[in-house]
Amino acid sequence: MEIEVALPSGDTDSETRLLALQFRHLRCKFGVMTIRRTDQIEDFVTLSCSCGLFLSFPQVGGAALVIEKASIDGQLLLLPAETYESNNRGPIRIVPRVDG
């Protein structure tokens, strides 16, 4: 399963904020994913798609670092399985959006 991540258009902030990124569930008819804080005490965020897919992880460290790295460096990266919870059984790849 692949999730596309992109910086918002015109974002020149060198410090990427996870909640400002744009996400798409690739090869899904719904596509657009939402991100929201789901546990302020534990500082967890959840990415969700209208198809039912969800992905939860701490806002700092692990999965968040991989997602931010993919969005900045333009690298396709695999999320380490121990860094998130999801209803998806297979590996999750973070795919940077390539404009142009």
How much is the pLDDT for 9?
54
Domain boundaries, the chain: 2-95
Share of the chain above pLDDT 90, in %: 44
CA separation for the pair 46, 61 (Å, rounded)? 14
Average pLDDT taken over every residue of the chain: 84
* Euclidean distance between CA atoms 89 and 30, whole angstroms: 19
Question: What pLDDT, in 10s, does the model give residues 23-72?
Answer: 999 989 998 999 998 877 778 999 999 999 999 999 988 999 999 888 88
Mean local confidence (pLDDT), 77-100:
87
Are 3 and 26 within 8 A, CB to CB?
A: yes
**pTM, entire model:** 0.81
**Strands, E, within the chain: which ranges?**
2-6, 22-25, 32-39, 44-49, 54-58, 77-78, 85-86, 93-96
- Paired tokens of 80: 């380490």
